Structure 1
């Protein structure tokens, strides 16, 4: 874990505005695309000692001494690229490093497109996926999860754009979402009930969706509630949140099915909740409203 997790507000603002200005720079995708970019970000975590190294992990993991964690760094404040252009930072990264310390393992963060992470886990290219994954029953058929956070979906629009208060209001609108997300599936399902279906625009990453709204190609954006709030906060008044979040569901740390990491990761999450590390990380990234107290293995609610 980094020596100091605190980041001044001006730095977060600079990072977010840079992301909005470069809105197509990073990549994301769909659950059936196995392509990936395995660009490692420097990992500052060192192996834990004493109690931190006491949680048993599978020998294959212990022998290599590290966890390879895949993330798509286009989803601030949960995971995004620092202003050096290569270091991946955010809530999920800091939580991954804290979990690694509890397991007595280094953490190597690798950049991958969102929709390539689950196939990559299934192929055992990564040990964990921490990229704001909603734990769903469909995804549980391919990977195992340990829940650690709750988030819903929020709508955001350009200032002066349409009023969107419920999912039904997207009918007839141009909607920009990231490929492979639950939001994309929500709009597809809603379109079956629309007299005039939404024009669903699916972009390879969240930055592309933001740019579509900023440029007027789309009217409405949808993202996980902490991410949408962050996008709006850092947009200098270009965007506004609309309506209330819907569909609150657990985020899950993803891992290969039957990897033997489920119980160790669950125990590590419980440990960082007990010692205060978990809430400290969430507060430092401004996402404490999503905190949970009872992590579970495969805790999907839908």
Structure 2
């Protein structure tokens, strides 16, 4: 049995565009019409190289042509780059490799559904741009009922390498053992598609992913999967930027302009993720 995500926009709409467009007025006073001061390095090169793990629809995934990275993060990244007066060049990269690559200067920034944590903020800067929790999904027929992390004891869980879900499942496994229960078997895969295949083939019982991604996986599975339980630990997504690059403040300013123009609301509505909208983007909010 195989499972693949269909690479086109879902008809799912999780919120009304009208409500989100009102967010634009929040930023009308704060988003200056003046041009944003971008460090000369980025002006000279004329583009931002942006890394994304393109297996995480609807946030970032590969289009039907088999090579183009598309998704909500891509659309937002292009809108931000436009406000900065440069182009956005998205590059597909494995999720766990992105932060080290940012530290080495390989990429200018990353938009790849990064949950902002204090640990991650120690090595890169983040500009928050939306929120998401974690959801559980299982096979529609015969899949277990999972209401929360405590229900994972004795189960095999499929997760993507380097994600907060991988950390959560491993931590819960230790708690299960400490409580005298069966451990959690955590199967870690290089990308989200591998985790999906493990569940479809019966090698894993439960999948964990960010809530908008899990909802997309279920919808695009043609009835193979279903959500179970409720999302937990809602937290901000962040645009990851190398420390001391001088790029965090300009990106924040550009994001505020994208919000003020109404483009932010349109992009979230297009991809059915309006429930993740925020009003107050910030730099390194986990450390505050």
TM-score interval, normalised by the smaller of the two chains? 0.7 to 0.9
Structure 1 residue 109 corresponds to structure 2 residue 90: yes
Q: Deviations over 1:133-188 (max 9, x none)?
A: 00110001110000001000000000121100111011100100000000000011
Whether the 8 Å CA contact 1:53–1:103 is kept in 2: the answer is no
User: Which of 251, 265, 285 does residue 299 from structure 1 map onto?
Assistant: 285
Whether the 8 Å CA contact 1:88–1:109 is kept in 2: the answer is yes
- What does residue 284 of structure 1 align with? 270
User: Which of 65, 82, 94 does residue 63 from structure 2 map onto?
Assistant: 82
Shift in Å, 1:236: 1.1
Instruction: Provide the secondary structure at the position in 1 that maps to 2:44.
Output: helix
- What does residue 229 of structure 1 align with? 215
Which whole-Å CA distance do the structure 1 matches of 2:101 and 2:196 have between them? Answer: 26
Instruction: Provide the secondary structure at the position in 2 that maps to 1:208.
Output: helix
- What does residue 15 of structure 1 align with? 7
- What does residue 52 of structure 2 align with? 71
Which whole-Å CA distance do the structure 1 matches of 2:229 and 2:148 have between them? Answer: 7
Whether the 8 Å CA contact 2:173–2:185 is kept in 1: the answer is no
Structure 1 residue 138 corresponds to structure 2 residue 124: no
The answer for unaligned runs of 5 or more in structure 1 is 1-12, 18-50
- What does residue 162 of structure 2 align with? 180
- What does residue 235 of structure 2 align with? 249
Whether the 8 Å CA contact 1:16–1:231 is kept in 2: the answer is no
Which structure 1 residue ranges, 4+ long, deviate > 4 Å from structure 2? none
By relative contact order (CA 8 Å, sep 6+), the higher-ranking structure is 2
Q: TM-score if structure 2 supplies the norm length?
A: 0.87
- What does residue 174 of structure 2 align with? 192
Which whole-Å CA distance do the structure 2 matches of 1:167 and 1:301 have between them? Answer: 25
Which whole-Å CA distance do the structure 1 matches of 2:199 and 2:57 have between them? Answer: 17
Which whole-Å CA distance do the structure 1 matches of 2:199 and 2:65 have between them? Answer: 26
Which whole-Å CA distance do the structure 1 matches of 2:144 and 2:8 have between them? Answer: 24
Q: TM-score if structure 1 supplies the norm length?
A: 0.83
- What does residue 259 of structure 1 align with? 245
Aligned length: 257
Q: Deviations over 1:89-128 (max 9, x none)?
A: 0000000000000000011111111111101100011111
Whether the 8 Å CA contact 1:128–1:256 is kept in 2: the answer is yes
